[in-house]
Chain A
């Protein structure tokens, strides 16, 4: 029967080791894989290393290191656990694996660089555990969400579910722009508000609900109507993503122009009765709102939800899709709806897509822009017909 010492010696004979000095001098940027326990990782690790505790190595390594050809330097504290890990990696088909001789201890003693991880405390680890389990998010992704700043235009039908899910997801800073107060007719769909907040400003009602849901989130209320005069001030506070849930065309065109000039992606959603539209406008990468809709419909063809009604749950679907897109943009994962307009029909339970392209002649994001400063958006949306009629 082999003792631990025998097993270790035999394993070390079957794998390749690498000395810290050689590893530190490598120019081919190997993947550093830390197989120690969480508390050891938390005290410091090699810069850029990924962390897969040895107990989870077999089950998690393929998601964490999908490229089996990339050289891997695996390490633990002293070089023993990493030797067994290197053997396992070899059995899993990883072609170029070396175990760091002497481990993290020897690395650090030689004065090679280390870094302290930013980590989630136990409370956050529990709260966001279902995110942490997803390889595409994990601890780094959750920390990015906690650092993220998302501005919601409107705390109404779309803003309600979007803000609730973004807050629950731990987006650290949520700005909300809305000048309205909570009204009885809102409560059929605007689920961030409640009967007891009737008559209070929507931004304050939303702030209370969102911070109650998740105290990690700071909600910045802007109890004002978005205008050409205040939008630069609001955007100057620094936002990674805008979620547009406005209820009128002038605001949508204003948000578009400002987002192009400030280079902030906009997750667009709009709803009417049983149908909704979702897309992502990413300045200079994909089309903008004006590329899609160069001019708004005349008022008689553009009834609002207040005039034409809306199925209460529809903004739940569309606003949740907007939250999903905002999270993807923040995390830099997946295929955002850039250049694609998703059409949702709740009555048919159908989802379809049309392609959107940048318009080289777009007056705002085109090659030769003709609109370079804010215009009178109310007048623009009233259109020439209204002007002629007046």
Chain B
């Protein structure tokens, strides 16, 4: 089980939940399970089969782009953060 942190701008797609659970052996599988459980997220996160470029994904605080991208293995107990940019000031 992986805890996935949902940013405020995507919470309307998780029924307001700030943190949800999903399963998977790598980042792609976790995100697929996540969008299975919360279908409204699907079009937000996925774009032509890839993660939308404006969504940053951190696995235990490390940007997965600096790891193996969506192929990065996810171990039990690690957590994901989805993080799009916020402009407000």
Q: Which residues of A contact B (CB under 8 A)?
A: 154, 156-159, 244-249, 252, 269-277, 292-298, 301-305, 308, 310, 315, 343, 348, 352-357, 359
Contact = CB atoms under 8 A, between A and B. Distances in A.
Contact of B66 (A157, A303, A357): A357
Nearest to B65: A359
A272 B84 contact: no
B16 to A, nearest CB: 12
13 contacts: A154-B89, A157-B89, A248-B87, A277-B86, A293-B84, A302-B87, A308-B9, A343-B81, A348-B18, A354-B62, A354-B83, A355-B66, A359-B65
A271 B89 contact: yes
B63 A271 contact: no
A49 to B, nearest CB: 44
A302 B86 contact: yes
Contacts of A357: 63, 66
B53 interface: yes
B8 interface: yes
Contacts of A158: 89
B9 A272 contact: yes
A311 to B, nearest CB: 11
B72 interface: no
B85 interface: yes
A356 B64 CA distance: 11
Contacts of A310: 88
Given A273-B8, A274-B8, A356 B89 contact: no
A248 B88 CA distance: 6
Contacts of B63: 354-357
B56 interface: yes
Select the residue from A249, A293, A356 with max chain B CB neighbours within 10 A.
Answer: A293
A80 B53 CA distance: 70
B8 A275 contact: yes
Select the residue from A158, A303, A348 with max chain B CB neighbours within 10 A.
Answer: A303
Interface residues of B, number: 24
A159 B86 contact: no
Interface in B7-34: 7-10, 18
A247 B89 contact: yes
A271 B85 CA distance: 10
Contact of A270 (B53, B56, B85): B85
Contacts of B7: 275
> What are the 5 tightest A-B residue pairs by CB atom distance, in nearest-first order?
A305-B88, A293-B85, A245-B89, A297-B54, A270-B86
B44 interface: yes
B88 A249 contact: no
Contacts of A301: 9-10, 44, 54, 84
A296 B7 CA distance: 15
A248 B87 CA distance: 5
A270 B58 contact: no
A271 B87 CA distance: 7
Given A249-B85, A277-B86, A357-B63, 19 more contacts: A159-B89, A245-B89, A247-B87, A249-B87, A270-B88, A270-B89, A272-B86, A275-B7, A275-B8, A293-B56, A293-B85, A296-B54, A301-B9, A302-B87, A308-B9, A343-B83, A355-B58, A355-B63, A357-B66
A269 B85 CA distance: 11
Interface string B56-89: 1010011101100000000000000101111111
A297 B9 contact: yes
Contacts of A249: 85, 87
A307 B82 CA distance: 21
Contact of B53 (A154, A244, A294, A304): A294
Contacts of A295: 53-54
Select the residue from A157, A271, A272, A357 with max chain B CB neighbours within 10 A.
Answer: A272
B53 to A, nearest CB: 5
Contacts of B85: 249, 252, 270, 292-293, 296-297, 302
A292 B56 contact: yes
A326 to B, nearest CB: 15
Contacts of B66: 355, 357
Contacts of A294: 53-54
Contacts of B89: 154, 156-159, 244-247, 269-271, 305, 315
Contacts of A343: 81, 83
A343 B8 CA distance: 12
